[in-house]
Amino acid sequence: MNKGYLIAHVTVSNAVVYADYVKAAGEAMRAFSPKIIAWSGQYENLEGESHERHVVFEFASFAEAKRFYESPQYQAAKALRAGAASGTFVLVEGGA
């Protein structure tokens, strides 16, 4: 089965509120046990919209990554992010 990846590119506008989102999103992720592949280290924006933070999570499958993103727990966390950050979130199927 191929892995699933959630890739997020984020720019934070309200660090205090965003911290609440990070905590809630982390709690929502516990049930899914994703592996963190990359987390806001050095980066170079080569093309397209630029953001200040980047994270890649690996899930057991694309379906599992989508199940996490659509879960009520993550959707509640996502609501906290509204107005505190802007970004792009993408689900990608990877190799086995």
- For the chain, what is the total number of helices (H) and then of strands (E)? 3, 4
The pTM (predicted TM-score) of the whole model is 0.89
Q: Which fold has domain 4-93?
A: Alpha-Beta Plaits (3.30.70)
Tallying the residues shown for the chain, one arrives at 96
Residues 3 and 9: their CA atoms lie apart, in Å, by: 20
- Calculate the CA 55 to chain-centre distance: 6
Whether residue 40 is predicted with pLDDT greater than 80 in this model: the reply is no
Who's near 82: CB < 8 A, 6+ residues apart?
none
Share of the chain above pLDDT 90, in %: 88
- Per-residue pLDDT tens for 7-17? 999 999 999 99
